[in-house]
Every structure is written in C-alpha cells, then in structure tokens.
Amino acid sequence: MEKNDGTKIMDNDLYEAAVKGDSTILANATVGGDECTETKANLIHIAVRHERYDFIETTLGKFPHLVCQRNSDDNTPFHIAAEMGNTRILDLLVNCYNKAALEGLAPWREKNLEGNTPLHVALIHAKLQLANNLVMIDPELTG
C-alpha cells in the first residue's frame, strides 16, 4: 500500500519482524527496504527502538541507506539510538555508515525537528556513555 506521496507503507508482518528481530522476512522478494510506518519510521528506526542488534546488522547489510533516513520527526536511527542509550547499536550504525561511504552530513550531526542532534538527544535522556561515545567519534560535536 502506498500513501499519496509515494511512500510505501510497511505491512504488519514486516513491522512485527523488526520489533521481534526476525530477519528471515528479509529473504522475501517483496521487501525492498523502502517500507515505512505512517510516521515514516523505517525498519532500522523500529529495530533500534527495540534494540534488535542482529536484525539491524542484517538489514543494513542489504539496505545501508536506511542508516541515514529520517522519520516524520526528522529523527535518524542515530537519534533513536541516542534516546535508547545503546552504545553497541550506535557503534554498529557508525560502522555501517562509514562502510557504505554515504554522502552528505554525517547522521550523528543531523538535527531533528526540535533542532536536536543525536548528542543532544543522548544528553536530554541522560545517556551519558552514549553521549561520550558520540564525542569520541566526532570531537567537533562539542564545538
């Protein structure tokens, strides 16, 4: 199903697979990686929120561009990881981004609709270890 803007709406089975971390669904030929929820959350946004490391790793192996996509609040998966405070997932996202050599502003520097970068989000949610890791990845974030 598609919305008027051409966005492909994620079906419930795919959503549940991301929530549960069931990457077997990715073998389905109809999964194209461009599916999202009504709030424009993609598979990675969902899996990061539910801390499904293996699913994230497998999905980004197939669809690395998802690491930079924004939801309706302009949050990237890095913003969600910052909110959750999962440094292992942050490292996975950074490694995927670096490996894919994607163009544009690094996603850990992107601002959401509230004007917050992932570093701001980590500090707002008192995820100090993750905030520290972001600064170690990109020391200019503090400048």
pLDDT digits (tens, 9 = 90+) for 49-90: 999 999 999 999 999 999 999 999 999 999 999 999 999 999
User: Which CATH number does the domain housing residue 125 bear?
Assistant: 1.25.40.20
Kindly report the pTM of this predicted structure: 0.92
Asked whether residue 137 is domain-assigned, the answer is: yes
Average pLDDT, the chain: 92
Asked whether residue 109 is domain-assigned, the answer is: yes
Euclidean distance between CA atoms 44 and 35, whole angstroms: 11
Asked whether residue 2 is domain-assigned, the answer is: no
**Cβ within 8 Å of residue 53, ≥6 positions away:** 21, 88, 89, 92
Asked whether residue 1 is domain-assigned, the answer is: no
Q: What is the mean pLDDT of residues 110-130?
A: 98
- Which residue segment(s) compose the domain that 61 sits in? 8-142
pLDDT the model gives residue 4: 46
Q: How many domains does the chain have?
A: 1
pLDDT the model gives residue 29: 63
Q: Flag whether pLDDT at 120 surpasses 50.
A: yes
Asked whether residue 114 is domain-assigned, the answer is: yes
